[in-house]
Chain A
Amino acid sequence: MRIGIDVGGTNTDAVLLGDDDSVLAAVKSPTTSDVSSGITASLGALQDQRAFDPAGVKAVMIGTTHFINALVEARRLAPTAALRLGLPATAALPPMVDWPQRLVEAVSGRSYLAHGGHEFDGRTISELDPDELRRHAADMAAHGVRSVAITSVFSPVNTEFELRAAEVLAEELPDVAISLSHQIGRIGLLERENATIVNAALRELASDIVGGLFAAVAGAGIDAPIYLSQNDGTLMDVEHARRYPVSTFASGPTNSMRGAAVLSGVTTCAVVDVGGTTSDVGVLTRGFPREATTEVSVAGIRTNFRMPDVLSIGIGGGSLVRGAGSSATVGPDSVGYRLTERALVFGGDTLTATDIAVAAGRADIGDRARVAHLDKELVAAALARIAADVADAVDRMRTSSQPLPVVAVGGGSVLLPEHLPGSGEVLRPENFAVANAIGAAIAQVGGEVDRVFTIEPGRRGDVLEAARAEAVERAISNGAVPSSVEVLEIDEVPLPYLPGGATRIRVKAVGDLSLTARSSVDLREPLPVGSRA
């Protein structure tokens, strides 16, 4: 058995899954401000719904929006220093230059520039200067800094300076948490540095929360390893979560989409989550969400987190329906959370998409008699409008001319027809209300490579093979069952104007979590020179 828990802003959902991924129990409880008492309550509710032996639980997987919410609300952020290694380069734009002032203040942000950094091809920009680092450390101590983010230029190509600087700082500031950028982001200095600073600012909160999760799970008599969901739908163990809370930022939508897929039994599909105000469309390929390729701003901070590519359109259960007869329009404005007072079926005075669904017999919500008078032509036209808009959104997200199965989840999914034009059948899994928790429970572990490689003529195949092997190796060292690991995606982008076929290669491999041995996710060692072909 496994337990999946989703700690959302409002509700904490929990599911108990059998070894065949069947849903044995599913519960919802209110989220609590300390997170752990909400989890204790959910675990208790699972027991109430279906008694189970805590010793039989092999793993607990938790997805949470707690950390991203803490950043958005600018609460409980630690006093943080950003140390950048790259002088004399990069001085023109110091750390946090493009941050909203409010957040710089919320993290009591202090910026330090020091020598170090690499060129694109691995040459050094300048040598690390330990004395310079010690002077910076003394200043950090004097200003009450409790967490440090270290970012070295081209650290995705060579991690050496970040690791060495971390050693120097750890000697000087033994009680300060240290976050390293090569563990967090990819090429793009400011975006990677921003993510690392955010991570550093969340370290204290992460320590508290992770401690609370441990206590809550142990308190329920469960002695199984605990994992947290990451943005890309893979898992990390709690020690990693303590160090890299930022890796949980986009796990909410990711878990929802993955859970929907497993519930419906299709792994390559479009997932349409129809809420009260919007429908969010994402695409899963072999069980993993397609990632957005553009920079993502979180709370006004530009980052290069891997976020799922989601298209939102203004159609939901609360969408306003206007017009008459065949010229009906739906949304984009909505009555939102006031659906239960404003919609006709609830005795309100506003014609909403939910009223249309009830009038058409697709849903039985509220008082059906209150919508019996609606013009049949209007109802048909509104439903056709909804189907056409959602079909268009699905089509926009499609990357090939192959039809893509559609999985519909969310309370508003009754608005969708049995078939969408151009897509085929619409699948509606049961238990979709706890799709997030299921998505957490079924998550796999991954390994990734993202670096600039030098490809000599005729050696492209060898280089790609080396990158694949490295990604697979990382997945295994992160706890994947070796025989289950497969390479999910390979992306190569040649870099213009550089000699020697410099190419940025990104490979992602995933596999099933080994439930027999505890995994250990350690600071990755610097790569041997030979691995850069």
Chain B
Amino acid sequence: MSWLLDESHLADLSRGATLLGTGGGGDPYIGRLLVAEAIKEHGPITVLDPDEVDDDLFVIPTAMMGAPTVMVEKIPRGTEPVLALRTLEAHLGRTAQATMPIECGGLNSMIPLLVAARAGLPIIDADGMGRAFPELQMETFSVYGVHASPMVVAGDRHETVIVDTGDDDVRMERLSRACAIQFGGAALIAEYAMTGADVKRVAIPRTLSLGIGAGRAIREAREEHRDPFAALAEFFAGTIYQNVRPLFRGKVSDVERRTVGGFTRGGCTVAGFDGGELELRFQNEHLLALRDGEPVCVVPDLICVLDDTSAEPITTESLRYGQRVVVLGISTPPIMRTPEALAVFGPAAFGLEQPFVPVEELVSERFSEPVAV
């Protein structure tokens, strides 16, 4: 069933998308303001359930690529993402009937909403990452045969670049990344054009409403003085993400970041209140959690660091010594865990030696009882 998204959903989406960003994806704040302004001007946005779209519906997903840190200083002109979409339409000779997120975590949860409001299009409640990832080929779209090319990269001077690398989405990532840097470190893109039938086959369903629901679960638990972690576990149990596992509770005792190949790589150690430690490794997003040396959650499953009382998600950029945190592992849906998917965004794709093992097999503790780790 389709539904209307208005300004009242944005705070919950912002919080939930930061959680799904699993440490990265960029702060959705600027995106949220952009969408709020667009909704004020153009009214609420129609959200379509992916199972109900027509097979021949023509969909152009939209997003921001580049450094979220740039976007907090050089705010977009606001017209770039619609320009990217319109340019791709002209290039393909087809008019988009809907847009869709490519990444439900972080700032990119908001950009397609901006496009939907400004272009008067509905948005499909689905995406291709099911979280945040650092590179544009890390998409279930790509994994299951819908390719990014041709894509359009647009900048604030209303310059556009069409990138066409055929079926090679890794080359697409490299070439478009170079364009984004020339555009000032951040650019808006339209890519992965597909039909409604493709959406049903290659997209991760209902991840926009997943972000809103996760954000709402935290907020309502706080308002009603319930345990927000148990509330999250209860919420996710009713979704295709299903399992929330408590990985650790403790205090951040070390954070290390360095830039390698344009990404922030690093690690973080959390010391347990009753001994033991959890080590996190990240490349923009969290990739691996080791509890006392043993893996407890491995990419693409979600590793989420939250404030231990407010349950506010904490990004890798804002991790600092002394924070008291709860670390959750959240299982990803089967479409993200096939051998084909793991080849593109599993541990080996990030140079990790650990094999992927589902978090629900690595950790047996649950949230029905208080976190006792």
Contacts and interface: CB of A to CB of B under 8 A. Distances in A.
Interface of A: 86, 88-93, 97-98, 117, 119-121, 123, 125, 153-154, 187-190, 293-294, 396-401, 493-499, 501-504
A86 B74 contact: yes
How big is chain B's contact interface, by range? 35 or more
Nearest to A188: B72
Contact of B78 (A92, A189, A294): A92
Which residue, B30, B68, B73, B156, has most C-beta atoms of chain A within 10 A?
B73
Given A91-B78, A97-B33, A399-B322, A494 B70 contact: no
Interface in B256-280: 257-259, 262-264, 271
The 9 lowest CB-CB distance pairs between A and B, nearest first, are A92-B78, A494-B259, A399-B322, A89-B156, A497-B67, A399-B321, A90-B75, A119-B184, A496-B264
Contacts of A495: 67, 69-70, 259, 264
A88 B159 CA distance: 12
Contacts of A88: 77, 156-158
A494 B258 contact: yes
Contact of B33 (A93, A187, A400, A497): A93
Contacts of B324: 396
Given A293-B318, A493-B317, A498 B185 contact: yes
B89 interface: no
Contact of B72 (A91, A189, A498): A189
Given A497-B263, A501-B259, A120 B318 contact: no
A120 B184 contact: yes
22 contacts: A86-B74, A88-B158, A89-B184, A92-B78, A98-B33, A119-B185, A120-B73, A125-B184, A153-B73, A153-B74, A154-B74, A187-B72, A189-B72, A189-B73, A396-B322, A400-B253, A400-B322, A401-B253, A401-B271, A495-B67, A496-B68, A498-B181
Interface of B: 24, 30, 33-34, 37, 66-70, 72-79, 134, 156-158, 177, 180-181, 184-185, 253, 257-259, 262-264, 271, 284, 317-318, 320-322, 324
Contacts, number: 121
Contacts of B158: 88
Contacts of A154: 73-74
Contacts of B253: 400-401
A463 B290 CA distance: 34
A496 B69 contact: yes
Contacts of A498: 67, 70, 181, 185, 262
B76, B157, B185 — most chain A CB neighbours (10 Å): B185
A121 B67 CA distance: 13
Contacts of A92: 34, 37, 75-79
Contacts of B185: 119-121, 497-498
Given A399-B322, A503-B259, 20 more contacts: A88-B77, A89-B76, A90-B77, A91-B77, A91-B79, A93-B78, A97-B33, A97-B37, A119-B184, A120-B67, A123-B184, A187-B73, A396-B322, A397-B322, A494-B264, A495-B67, A496-B67, A496-B69, A497-B262, A498-B67
